[in-house]
Structure 1
Amino acid sequence: MASFDVESLFTNVPLHETTIKFTCEIQKDNQLPFLDTMVTDNNGNFRTSFYRKPTFTGLGLHFLSFTPYIYKINSVKTLITRAYNRIHTPVNSFYKILRNFLNKTHSSSTPVLSAAKDLCYVTLSYLGHLNFSIRKELQSIFKDTFPQTDFRFIFKTTTTIRSLLNKTKPLPFALRSCAVYQFKCSRCNSQYVGSTTRSLQHRILEHMGKSYRTGVLLSSPSPSAIREHCYSNGHPLTQQDFHILTSASHRLDLITLESLFISRMKPDLNNTTAIQLHTQ
């Protein structure tokens, strides 16, 4: 690349004004790339050819890839128009596509005037060759039922590399919420069943009489049957004494599940009456 100063070309340009600068590219070996074209200077006669940047890899869509057939055909058509680049396509299919392409390009047909149809796209999960049979059946049904609509089918695969490598770790025990939990004393096996929509750590610290933000003992904590049992009997109270029985996304479901567990397990530390559920 070379640059030149416009100020040197015009003597009447005031010096205090901003100088305009242009850049240009000098030909190398009598060749100069311009967009996707390579221009070659042959003793004053210019010859053009395709030009690819050094970063061009030449990669394309492999014919054996798990992709809808129409996408492969369009890929071949694109490559044909770009000077017959190399592709991984069977010979018979290549000649068939090439013949259709040339016939369509060189044949002249009189356009038929008709009313424009409504365009509608239909997305289907890609299942391989089975999609072609499904598309054919749907096209036949839609053609008779909706003649005024032009349906275009799009095949989409749901299997991705991300879905195969999904290693999302579950939330830590203490950070889980909307759960039915159980407390079991490590000394006497006394039990308590409860539910919470907040994080389990928040509820455990509440049973311990501690602040959720600081972890310091509160001067006036809310009542807790678990804390009263442990303090009156001198039993330790730790987070390891709690575990999750089940979880639900709605509060009503949590209350129902909590009542079912209380009715079945009959924990001795629960001083509330469970909701009576009629069961057969």
Structure 2
Amino acid sequence: MYVEIPFIGNATKEFRNKITHLCNKLRPDLDIQFFMKQPPPPVLQMLYQTKDPIDKKMKSDVVYSIKCTKCQHSYIGKTERQCVKRLHEHGAPKSSSELRRSDRLKAKSTTTTTTTTITTSSVIKEITFAVQQNQIETGHQMNWDNFRIVMEDNHYYRLLIKESLLIKAYEPELNRTTHSVPLIVFPDELQKELLPKPFDND
């Protein structure tokens, strides 16, 4: 009996030995021969990729960060919607290139679901205004093109926790709230070293 398994180093050898030992105990009459197949080289893997990479501006359910182009003022936020829509609410300029989608996405119908959110509309308006106010008062521009997706999560409450941990750890100047939800699980917060970096040179 021939069994083909992908070869990925010592893990493959350990797997083969465990299967052989198990078969010897349960079915000693079977003669199993393993054939280890090398994984395809990176070039072939790229050729066989079927999904197009998603532009970061089109991603949703993320915690993101923005930084001013001239000063150190920064902001950390989260959104369940596409990043491009949230950035426009912050004051990012609208352009056709930012809203361009692939033909496959255009062909899909858009469905809207109602979700219960913890953040109220008044808080959302205040947060949006904080970023816009910084641009008005200083005359600076936020670095919209180089905004960073720091963390992702399709569960809304976990997304809030991740946003809160980053805000507490880095204390960005344009965030007017210290957290979105009570950090009961992390009462002592988390050290920066245990969190992804939302900004360069942190």
TM normalised by structure 1 equals: 0.39
For this pair of structures, how many residues does the alignment match? 147
- Asked if 1:155 corresponds to 2:32, the answer is no
- Asked if 1:249 corresponds to 2:153, the answer is yes
- Paired residues for 1:253-268 under 5 Å: 253-268=158-173
Aligned to 1:205: 88
Amino acid of the residue matched to residue 169 of structure 2? R
- Asked if 1:175 corresponds to 2:79, the answer is no
Q: Which has the higher contact order (CA 8 A, sep 6+)?
A: 2
Amino acid of the residue matched to residue 83 of structure 2? L
Q: Retained in 1: the 8 A contact 2:63–2:159?
A: yes
Larger Rg belongs to: 1
Alpha carbons of structure 1 residues 190 and 141: separation in structure 2 relative to 1, 3 Å = closer
Q: Retained in 1: the 8 A contact 2:56–2:149?
A: no
Residue in structure 1 matching 2:23, options 127, 142, 145: 142
Aligned to 1:228: 133
In the alignment, the residues of structure 1 paired with residue 148 and residue 97 of structure 2 have an alpha-carbon distance, to the nearest angstrom, of 24
In the alignment, the residues of structure 2 paired with residue 213 and residue 159 of structure 1 have an alpha-carbon distance, to the nearest angstrom, of 41
Aligned to 1:279: 188
In the alignment, the residues of structure 1 paired with residue 30 and residue 163 of structure 2 have an alpha-carbon distance, to the nearest angstrom, of 55
In the alignment, the residues of structure 2 paired with residue 142 and residue 188 of structure 1 have an alpha-carbon distance, to the nearest angstrom, of 66
RMSD: 4.2
Q: Deviations over 1:148-201 (max 9, x none)?
A: x7575563514124x444447964443344432222223443221112233322
Alpha carbons of structure 1 residues 197 and 151: separation in structure 2 relative to 1, 3 Å = farther
2:150 match: secondary structure = strand
The percent identity for this pair of structures is 22
Q: Deviations over 1:81-120 (max 9, x none)?
A: xxxxxxxxxxxxxxxxxxxxxxxxxxxxxxxxxxxxxxx9
- Asked if 1:192 corresponds to 2:83, the answer is no
Amino acid of the residue matched to residue 146 of structure 1? R
TM normalised by structure 2 equals: 0.51
Comparing both structures, which one devotes a greater share of its residues to helix? Answer: 2
Alpha carbons of structure 1 residues 209 and 146: separation in structure 2 relative to 1, 3 Å = same
Query: How far off its partner does 1:263 sit?
Result: 0.9
In the alignment, the residues of structure 2 paired with residue 245 and residue 187 of structure 1 have an alpha-carbon distance, to the nearest angstrom, of 21
